[in-house]
Homo-oligomer: A and B are copies of this chain.
Amino acid sequence: MPRHIYNCSEGCPVESTLQIISGKWKSVIIYHLIKKKHCRFNELQKLMPNCSRRMLSLQLKELKSDQIIDKTIFPTVPPKTSYQLTALGETLTPLILEMEKWGDKYNQLHE
């Protein structure tokens, strides 16, 4: 899987950030994990009706490999999982909340 979308030209830290959160649904996932602290797989799905199960799975996997989120598996029947932010992931909170703020204002303008 190609993870070198941006070559991160020196002098542009924004590209480094994009490297981590620019996946189609990543910042939305992080947003929901900020709000709810932890979420199960199907719970996330309901919060993001336009994201397919396949895509959700892929995005979660990349976020995990970038150490932004953690996954806890409870070996029960039926199986149960829980996704939550890591310490690194939590440092994205101010950024994601800025996205929320801007989106709110933008929606006010356009309704």
Interface centre among A14, A31, A48, A49, by most chain B C-beta atoms within 10 angstroms, is: A14
Q: Which one, B6, B91, B99, contacts A14 given CB within 8 A?
A: B99
For the side of the interface on A, what is the size category? 35 or more
Are A103 and B28 neighbours in the complex by a CB distance under 8 Å? no
B14 adjacent to A103 (CB under 8 Å): yes
Q: Which residues of B contact A5 (CB under 8 A)?
A: 24
Among B12, B24, B99, contact of A95 (Cβ-Cβ < 8 Å): B99
Question: Across the interface, do A50 and B13 meet the contact criterion of CB distance under 8 Å?
Answer: no
Q: In the bound complex, do residue A99 and residue B50 qualify as a contact, i.e. CB atoms below 8 Å apart?
A: no
Does A55 belong to the interface (CB within 8 Å)?
Answer: no
Q: Tell whether A18 pairs with B12 under 8 Å between CB atoms, given A91-B105, A95-B99.
A: no
Whole-angstrom CA separation of A13 from B7 in the bound complex: 29
User: Is the beta-carbon distance between A27 and B18 smaller than 8 angstroms?
Assistant: yes
Cβ contact within 8 Å between A18 and B13: no
A32 to chain B, nearest CB (A): 8
Of residues 85 through 111 on chain A, the ones whose CB sits less than 8 Å from some CB of chain B are 91-92, 94-96, 98-107
